[in-house]
Amino acid sequence: MAEGIEEVKVVGEPPMGVVTNNFNKENWVPKTELGFKVKSGEIKDINDIAGKGLKFLEPQIVDMLLPNLESSLLSIGQSKGKFGGGKKSIWRQTQKKTKEGNKPNFGCLAVVGNKNGYIGLGFGKSKETMPAREKALRNAKLNIISIRRGCGSWECGCGNVHSIPFKVKGKCSSVEIELIPAPLGTGLCIEEECKKILEVAGIKDVYSRAVNSKNRLNLMYACLDALKELSRTKVSENDVKNLGIVRGIQE
């Protein structure tokens, strides 16, 4: 089922850069107290939730507060190609051998963001492809975070929000990645799937360096860990002004 499937051929998956949020407020029936407050308009800022350490238990909360959310599926697997070759696939297929035969499972990794400082990464697994995709999108919305952006390149110093404010490192298992600020117009000098993560986060220019990056799934989680490090690092008020640091912007 996963053989020969490419990311652009997935049914229902729009191309990158297209708003994918088809959320309908009227049809949403909240299940938590936080959901009722968001639907009634008592909570309008997503930072009121994340800033107090509260967890997102309903993906509709994120759909409501971030209406311009975009999504994409990342290539984490490999499918069989012609003449014994392999090519990238968005489905990571595993099999369990039983007396009844082989039982396949499909894993999928989704990234969501508003291209303005908010990003979420989620993994979903199921016996079929479409449920795995829906689980991944749901988990990505529940894991939404806000990151810092700015201009930390000594070659640029423009003060615009196009890169990251300072150098950060991320790690997942044995994979390590380092994100370095780049001047305006450089582009994203990073692995293709990690580039999608930075694009939906709103980062346009960056240098990178990775170690032990053969495992693509761990590489993407390491990239997310590096983005989280941007918010963990303490900065002074002078650095905020000089580097043009801003947090996620809710549109």
Asked if residue 57 is part of any domain, the answer here is: yes
Distance of CA 174 to the CA centre of its chain: 20
Average pLDDT over residues 211-239: 91
* CATH code of the domain containing 83: 3.30.160.20
> pLDDT (tens digit, 9 = 90+) per residue, 53-63?
788 899 999 99
Boundary-marking domain end, from 145, 160, 180 = 145
| 169 and 46 assigned to the same domain | no
Residues in the chain: 251
Structural domains counted in the chain:
3
- CATH, residue 220: 3.30.230.10
pLDDT of residue 20: 52
Whether 27 is in a domain gets the answer no
pLDDT tens per residue across span 69-115: 899 999 998 877 665 567 888 989 888 888 888 898 999 999 999 99
Please check whether residues 122 and 232 belong to one and the same domain: no
The answer to whether residues 93 and 140 belong to one domain is yes
| The pLDDT of residue 250 is above 50 | yes
Are residues 109 and 12 part of one domain?
yes
Give the bridge partners for 106, in sequence order.
93, 126
CA distances from 11 to 5, 172, 224 (A): 10, 31, 27
pLDDT digits (tens, 9 = 90+) for 105-154: 999 999 999 999 999 999 999 999 999 999 999 999 999 999 999 998 88
Q: Is 29 helix (H, G, I), strand (E, B) or coil?
A: coil
- Count CB atoms within 10 A of the CB of residue 159: 12
Query: Residue 26: helix, strand or coil by DSSP?
Result: coil
Residues 140, 156: one domain? no
Question: Nearest Cα to 239, choosing from 117, 151, 145, 118?
Answer: 151
Is the distance from CB of 92 to CB of 77 less than 8 angstroms? yes
Same domain, 109 and 12: yes
If one counts every other C-beta atom within 10 angstroms of the C-beta of residue 122, the result is 21
Tell me which of 145, 179, 197 is where a domain ends.
145
Residue that finishes a domain, picked among 65, 80, 105: 65
Backbone angles phi, psi at 221, to 5 degrees: -70, -35
Cα-Cα-Cα-Cα dihedral sign, residues 65, 144, 194, 231: positive
Q: Is residue 177 part of a domain?
A: yes
d(CA 73, CA 121): 10
- Total-model pTM: 0.85
Domain assignment of residue 24, yes or no: no
29, 200, 248 from 39: Cα distances, Å: 9, 25, 22
Instruction: Tell whether 123 and 12 lie within a shared domain.
Output: yes
The answer on 136 and 152 residing in a single domain is no
Looking at the structure, tell me whether residues 12 and 54 fall in a common domain: no
Same domain membership, residue 153 and residue 141: no
- Asked if residue 39 and residue 118 are part of one domain, the reply reads no
The whole domain housing 11 covers 7-17+70-145
- Assigned domain for 22 exists: no
In a shared domain, residues 91 and 166: no
